[in-house]
């Protein structure tokens, strides 16, 4: 080969299969952090002794859980809230995603970002701001309408089934679906639609007969994901449901834990029931996405948006209306609430004040909680990017024998209600001698965030990897790079936008995480989210809403950062 230069020697072949060892190590660590706590939950449900006494095993917990009179109604409530949420949000989300991804809706990029930002709003903050509008007595909408209605009473009550559904639709059900469906709709090859248009179908018929059916697997997968998330809800029902004795599964469990004598056995027994309900959903989700061909967007086809014509403006009004409801109202009213003398009372003389901010900012607890939150959120984000991407990579790209098991395990944190997962991690830390010194440090909370964020993080990275052609990695292997070098220099670099997004989602999730850390945090490592919960428990709603607004601002900054980084880093 005279033309180029002398060949370059490569090192000798190694006989030990290093990648397989690494995969097994990852599997072992993940199993310890996820499967072990879940097993502890199952075991605990048969452990009937009171805390502090030697363990005794029996079925008392199960009997108590199943005999609990509230159980049947909470089961029914969980089911109806979940179904109604999905029924309302799915068609709406499909419509919005279609408008944003496949039409010439004016300002569609900005609207997409608004949904993205709304997804990051902490549910508790959103709940508090909608209370300001829809409280049956003092809510701004109700009191405004009351003066004009004959009955003299506002028509809305947020402390009701429909109030809870409404807040859920706003706090996640709709936004999460829109932000998951929109990119999927955008990546669809427009040739399918063009063929239908040429065959004589109009825009609407093409959307209904071609676009939606082609996207059916994605839509179904998002629906299953949404159902799982909604079986987990906690804060909204805790704040809105408890006043009128409306319990769902997670709040029933929480109730069993925070009574004077905590019923760990009964609470965990209920958690095992949730787990049993979740497993088929996970299997269904994996089955739906099983044989899916992810086509890379190559620039080979052009995505020409449908012209909406005269429908542009009604569609824009609808989209902007949704943005106002999911993003505008929560931000404006949460901030307004922080300046109120008495939270929710607009009609008292001189309702505005700066006292709440002064009180919170001068509170010694605030600065340490803020510091804890930032360390917690950053730590969780970095750990999540590393761990979740490794799991996703092994599951998608390797031939490792345990890859399916690893994939399945990554779903498990979804199956356990957040509060119980926190409790199980507490047992894990206190029960493992090597880990016991970590109790009370932020590391514990980071682990909780890492585990609870695992299903979503791993899924997002997995779908990103599937869209990346495998040949890009194979080319690197052939060029002489080891598995690890390829992972560092090709995979991580190409996945940078996705990883940034996962990092920011985890950052925000950790900053606002309540359910998982409620039982894990101590005064030493208490983050803002728990400080806010403490203020609520002390009925200091004004201070709570200040903290809620600060968490919201951190979240929005994270959303903006994720969006900007994701767009800038987007290659090709």
Which residues of this chain interact with another protein, rule CB under 8 A? 1-14, 469, 471-472, 474-483, 485-486, 489-490, 493-494, 496, 571-572
CB of 259 vs another protein, minimal distance in Å: 55
The tally of CA atoms less than 13 A away on the side-chain side of residue 473 is 22
CB of 365 vs another protein, minimal distance in Å: 45
Judge whether 549 and 335 are in contact, CB under 8 Å. yes
DSSP class of residue 50 equals: P
Instruction: Go through 199-212 and write b for each residue having 16 or more CB atoms within 10 A of its CB, e for each that does not.
Output: eebebeebbeebbb
Complex with another protein: residue 5 or 150, whichever CB lies closer:
5
CB of 472 vs another protein, minimal distance in Å: 5
CB of 403 vs another protein, minimal distance in Å: 15
* Long-range interactions of 370-375: CB distance < 8 A, separation 24+: 370/528, 370/550, 372/442, 372/445, 372/525, 372/526, 372/527, 372/528, 373/511, 373/527, 373/528, 373/529, 373/551, 373/554, 375/442
Complex with another protein: residue 164 or 494, whichever CB lies closer:
494
Complex with another protein: residue 8 or 537, whichever CB lies closer:
8
Complex with another protein: residue 374 or 496, whichever CB lies closer:
496
Judge whether 326 and 320 are in contact, CB under 8 Å. no
Complex with another protein: residue 205 or 488, whichever CB lies closer:
488
CB of 4 vs another protein, minimal distance in Å: 6
- For 445, the token pair is 């909370």
Complex with another protein: residue 42 or 481, whichever CB lies closer:
481
CB of 297 vs another protein, minimal distance in Å: 12
Instruction: Go through 92-104 and write b for each residue having 16 or more CB atoms within 10 A of its CB, e for each that does not.
Output: bbbbbbbbbbbbe
Complex with another protein: residue 11 or 291, whichever CB lies closer:
11
The alpha helices in 147-260, defined as continuous H runs, are: 161-168, 174-186, 191-198, 203-206, 212-214, 216-230, 235-240, 249-258
Residue given tokens 């990648």 in the structure block = 19
Complex with another protein: residue 150 or 571, whichever CB lies closer:
571
3-state secondary structure of 306: strand
- Look at residues 527, 530, 545 and name the one whose alpha carbon lies nearest to residue 446: 527
CB of 191 vs another protein, minimal distance in Å: 17
Residue 103's DSSP bridge partners are 306
Query: Largest Cα–Cα distance in the chain?
Result: 97
């Amino acid at each position: 080969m005279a033309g180029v230069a002398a060949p370059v020697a490569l090192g000798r072949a190694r006989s030990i299969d290093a990648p397989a060892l690494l995969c097994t190590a990852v599997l072992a660590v993940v199993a310890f952090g996820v499967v072990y706590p879940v097993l502890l939950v199952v075991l605990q449900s048969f452990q009937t002794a009171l805390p502090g006494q030697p363990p005794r095993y029996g079925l008392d917990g199960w009997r108590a859980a199943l005999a609990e009179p509230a159980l049947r109604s909470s089961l029914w409530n969980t089911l109806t809230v979940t179904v109604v949420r999905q029924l309302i949000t799915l068609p709406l989300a499909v419509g919005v995603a279609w408008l944003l991804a496949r039409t010439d809706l004016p300002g569609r990029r900005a609207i997409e970002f608004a949904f993205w930002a709304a997804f990051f709003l902490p549910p508790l903050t959103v709940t508090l701001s909608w209370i300001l509008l829809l409280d049956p007595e003092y809510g701004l909408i109700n009191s405004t309408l009351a003066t004009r209605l004959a009955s003299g009473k506002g028509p809305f009550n947020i402390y009701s089934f429909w109030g809870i559904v409404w807040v859920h639709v706003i706090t996640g059900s709709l936004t999460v679906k829109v932000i998951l469906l929109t990119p999927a709709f955008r990546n669809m090859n427009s040739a399918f639609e063009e063929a239908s248009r040429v065959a004589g179908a109009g825009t609407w018929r093409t959307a209904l007969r071609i676009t939606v059916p082609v996207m059916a697997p994605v839509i179904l997968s998002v629906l299953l994901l949404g159902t799982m998330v909604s079986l987990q809800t906690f804060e909204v029902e805790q704040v809105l449901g408890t006043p009128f004795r409306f319990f769902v599964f997670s709040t029933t469990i929480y109730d069993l834990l925070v009574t004077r004598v905590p019923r760990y056995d009964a609470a965990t027994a209920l958690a095992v029931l949730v787990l049993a309900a979740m497993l088929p959903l996970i299997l269904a989700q994996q089955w739906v996405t099983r044989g899916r061909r992810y086509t890379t967007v190559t620039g080979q086809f052009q995505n020409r948006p449908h012209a909406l014509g005269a429908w542009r403006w009604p569609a824009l009004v609808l989209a902007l209306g949704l943005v106002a409801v999911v993003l505008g109202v929560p931000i404006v009213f949460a901030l307004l609430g922080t300046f109120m003398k008495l939270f929710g009372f607009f009609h008292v003389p001189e309702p505005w004040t700066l006292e709440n901010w002064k009180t919170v900012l001068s509170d010694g607890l605030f600065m340490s909680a803020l510091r804890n939150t930032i360390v917690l959120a950053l730590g969780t984000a970095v750990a999540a990017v590393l761990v979740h991407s490794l799991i996703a990579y092994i599951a998608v790209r390797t031939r490792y024998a345990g890859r399916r098991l690893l994939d399945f395990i990554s779903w498990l944190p979804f199956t356990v209600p957040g509060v119980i997962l926190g409790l199980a991690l507490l047992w894990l830390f206190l029960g493992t001698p090597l880990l016991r010194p970590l109790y009370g440090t932020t590391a514990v909370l980071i682990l909780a965030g890492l585990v609870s964020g695992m299903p979503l993080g791993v899924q997002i990275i997995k779908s990103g990897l599937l869209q990346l052609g495998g040949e890009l990695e194979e080319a690197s292997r052939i060029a002489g790079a080891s598995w690890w070098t390829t992972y560092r220099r090709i995979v991580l670099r190409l996945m940078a936008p996705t990883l940034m997004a996962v990092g920011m989602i985890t950052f925000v999730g950790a900053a606002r995480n309540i359910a998982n850390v409620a039982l894990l945090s101590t005064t030493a490592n208490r983050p803002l989210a728990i400080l806010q919960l403490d203020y609520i428990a002390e009925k200091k709603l004004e201070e709570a809403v200040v903290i809620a607004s600060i968490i919201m601002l951190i979240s929005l900054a994270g959303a903006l950062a994720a969006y900007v980084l994701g767009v800038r880093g987007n290659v090709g």
